Structure 1
Amino acid sequence: MADSAPSPALDPSARGWTLATAGLALLPLLSILPLTLAAGFAITAACVAALAWRGTLPGWLRLLLTLAMVGAVFTIMGTRLGRDTGCALLAAMLAIKPAEAHTLRDARSLLGFSLFAPFAAFLMDQGLLVMVLGLAAVLCALLSLQRLADAENGAPPLPLRQRTMVMARLVGIGLPLALLAFWLFPRLGTPLWGVPERALARPGLSDTMEPGGWLDLMADDAPALRAVFHGPVPASEQMYWRGPVLWRFDGRSWSRTGWLDGLPVPEIRASATTWDYEIELEPTDRRHVVALDLPLAAPAGSRMGFDLALSAARPLSAPSRWRLRSSPPAAFEAELRPILRNMALELPAGFNPRTRALAQQWRRDAGADDAAIIERALAWIGAEFGYTMDVPLPGRHAVDEFLFQTRQGYCEHFASAYTVLMRAAGIPARVVTGYVGGYRNPYGGYWVVRRMDAHAWVEVWLDGRGWVRVDPTAAVAPERIYDTLEQRRFAGGGDADFGLLRLGNLGDFTDWIRRGWNDLVLGFDANRQQAMLSPLGLHQLQPAQLLGMFVALAALALAGMVWVLARGERERDPLLRAWRQLCRRYARLGLGRATHEPALAWAARVATAHPRSGPALLALSRRFAASRYAGDQTGMRRLIDDLRRHRP
């Protein structure tokens, strides 16, 4: 069998379009990878493209780049394979792939490989930014494929405007079918296939709290949740968003006690104030659902633990919405079982002897007055302690070091030390984690809570009142707040207030756009699907009925696509197609050309009836006849453009 003909070499224009498409396809992946990897891949891709433009990269160099990039992926992300690791490896391969793009076959291979990148990015993030970058890559790929087809056929490249119009026509043909699939295809509760977990966890609340473990979370100003209130709104300083409750302390870290979730929810006597609100949680790949202190009931799809911490039925791998009602308690578990009291007083032996001694001294001074000990500890914090993020990791006696040496830290240190101090004094206490505060976005009128608002506070148990919230971090005097996250964001100098105003307005607007995207696209679930069909008299359709409706309408859409494409096939000649479009424009004015009427005779008839546009039509008709029947191909492209632009 004879060898196939070698693929033609790429001309500079086709190579530029191909490389631009590969770069655009790489951007969605770079936006979701760790910053170090993203920067390294971007620089590598730019260097490889520049070197490949001059000639073929030697094999040893490509192998070295491949090994270096794979090594960087596993060094930064670990050896555990997951969705993010796979996306990083795909980005590494795409950054090196342009080194092989020298022929038309290579270019088509690169374009096909590039289109995997934006779709892989959707496994990690379905946000608006990834969608816009992915669409830009797909549209650029269509333009590039059209340019490669022209190069392969030896035809002169179409102007960008005409190529864009052809591409827009193709997209418009397929758009009805895509919208039908989005609106009518039955929404599934679980995916059709298994998706691997992430190798790197997303920032979010955890079941544990250990020294330094919250710094990454508290340094992230991305939204953790958005809330809309239906009725009264609590003050910002009273917005304590309850998350996991930590009971067990091993001398260094705090953790949850899982078996408590099997106990019935304790008795709560709510106050007269009630908050009705809806929250939108950003994905965390965990199950924690936060709620204002204290939630009155678990919303559908979640369960309430014994300590009133909410958890979802499935990991929150996508934005989720929850309708909740909360109320500050008048009494919360006024009767404490002995086993729970022992758990709330338990401390590991051999840790923090100075804290134990101080607590015992306070107990002797206060007698049976627990409230006096609580207030004494808060007063001590307000008088002598400072707030800062710049603290070293503690040693064995972490609480002793904090209370008697450094006396500086952030919420993690204050909550842990205060709880240990209360337990040592014989007062049941536990650590509650979550978020505190929030700010109102002026564009949407909703409240935003950021990841950096992560907070830890304490609940102490008092006779007759039950669990009472105490926030030792809030007791720090304002003049002793030395180093906050907001201050660190503007530590580089300049006018911090102006920076907050300028960046805040832009950030509020982009967050409002993101919330709308979550609501209209990512939040389009089965309930929203049923609500959309209800005005048409279609109520509570079963999945089989939805599928039947989708198949019927999709068949109509496909028939329309086939008709439009067949119509284009009947008029493959661009000159003839432009001429017939011109004839249809005159036909709408009652001056249509008869089937038997020659072009020049028709133009002469129109010129007699309409002297203003007739001469231009007559000139175009002569050029059309010369090109179509006399074989005059000079100025073909200009003639087609003139025919398309002409209007009676």
Structure 2
Amino acid sequence: LSPGWILFTCVPAAAILGLSGTVYTEADFLWVYLVFVALATFMMIHEHHHRLHWQRKGLAAYGNVDLRLLGQAYVAAACSLGAIAVGRVVAEPMHSVASALFPFYNMVDSSRNAEQRASTNRIGVSETAELTIGRGPMTISEQVLMRVRAEHGAYWRGATYDRYTGAGWRSSLPGAIDVGPRPARGEPSVFVDPSERRSLEIQVPRTRHNRTPGAFHILRQSVLLEPVGRFTDLYAAGEARSFRLADDTVAGLSVTAAADLAGRVRLSHPIRGIPYEAISEVADWTPEELRQRTASMESRLMAGYLRLDLPSADLSKLQGVVDRITATARNDYDRVVALQDYVSSSCRYNLMAPALDSAGGDMVLQFLFRTREGYCDLFASALAVLCRTAGIPARVASGFTSGEFDPARAEYVVRERDKHLWCEVWFSDTGWVVFDPTTNAEDVTPVPGANQGEPGFGALRRLLQRGPIPPAIVGTALGLVLWAVRTEWRHRRSKRDRRDRVDTLGPIETEVLRVYAMVSRSLSRRGMSRRPSETPWEYADRLVNALADDATARHAVLALTQKAVAARYAGVAMGPGDVRQMHRWRRMVLGSLRSSRSQAFLRQPPPRSVH
């Protein structure tokens, strides 16, 4: 395929992509399309310049067409801006044409818009039965999901996980305990009025897994779920004891609830836009008090919260780290703090961290000893596994951080970005205590538009996930750029080679060519200029035909041409006698022009203009 054919394919490709883009309006696709159009425009201008370069000596009437690469880029940018301006005008009619030509796009577009509206207006908020960690980049929004009024902030817990699988967590506790609901009781509040028939109450069973053996205080929380979220779990601080909902039906369906032994409450149907109240027992403790207590519990429960089904080699590796980090700690609390500081200082928080290798072994070991980069799921899991290695009962909890406090409304605004995982450690005479290793970790999550880390790789990864068309467009664009660099390099090398060949001529050969150039200029002033497409011999044949009445001039023209071609292209060595002959033939041609000027050139055809 010639370069012209390759560039020709850009025209229908741009037309098809542009027609598709009127209905396929995803931002990444549009940006890739604009880059493709700009590069294709530049390549067409570059090829046009490359063609004109070989004729530039005969196009003096059109100015200097030997634009350099930067000038070509300027022209391409101007053409691209013009194309964008025209595109804004014709976008609407093109959309109508595309919808008529490709009816399946309407269905794709409608379903995509429906999905986008659903993702915008409905965000599923639920805790899974099994938690997978190290899943790769995560995108979270600033969407407000709920508002909480309470005396103080807390980690709003939704579920806990006690069984580590090497790839994540799951709960081994029974989760089908019927907890109602039943009609609400007690005093009316801002959100719930027990006198209303549709209000209901859920009592959370008190078990050995969610008890508060030491001092605690009661925290009442008024939670307003935003309509944008679809909640299947109820969230509360500490150990929730009861929930009161303002409505017992969702879309005409009665709501039922089930709880597990750790206190997680799961609803039978997702709810949204419904307020509820939670009453929790929150343990009271200070670091000094915890230093006096041990991280131990009943032996039957202790085994479950210490369980690690890992190969002996992995356990030995973890044990070595634990022994080294906790060597100077004198109590269980200081050991947990030392392990938390180790995870925070040795690993970096990054929401865009790549997924861990599912075939690369245990996820926590990959995180601690290989990648050292991830987000809350890996941080919490690493701390829980290290605590269990140290003989300290620990688990992972999932929910939300307290959110941002709004003093004007005296409430905590909880957003989707506040979704979180943390570690909880059991202390005797206290209960479960929260430890969050992400608090002091370095956050290296790339900021959009900022030059951090490896900018562009995240966009490249998202581009590769869009299917084969965007990577094909990017590959074509890169190919066009490489082709432009190649042709520019060859063009400059050929100019250098030609210049080098001229520089290698001796002074006598150069003088021979100078005499031939003098004759050519004299003929050009008299209307007999050399055409851009003519070789020296074709030019000589035309001169001979024009000088049909003067045999001496015809002989001189042929001799001049033969000598100049031999010196320039054949590499024939010239002597002083050749220079004298060239001057003699020059005088013969110029003398013939002066003596028979009007007759010699009457029969020549008019010069053709080159466009």
TM-score normalised over the length of structure 2: 0.44
Compare CA radii of gyration and give the structure with the larger one.
2
Which structure carries more strand by proportion?
2
TM-score normalised over the length of structure 1: 0.42
Which structure carries more helix by proportion?
1
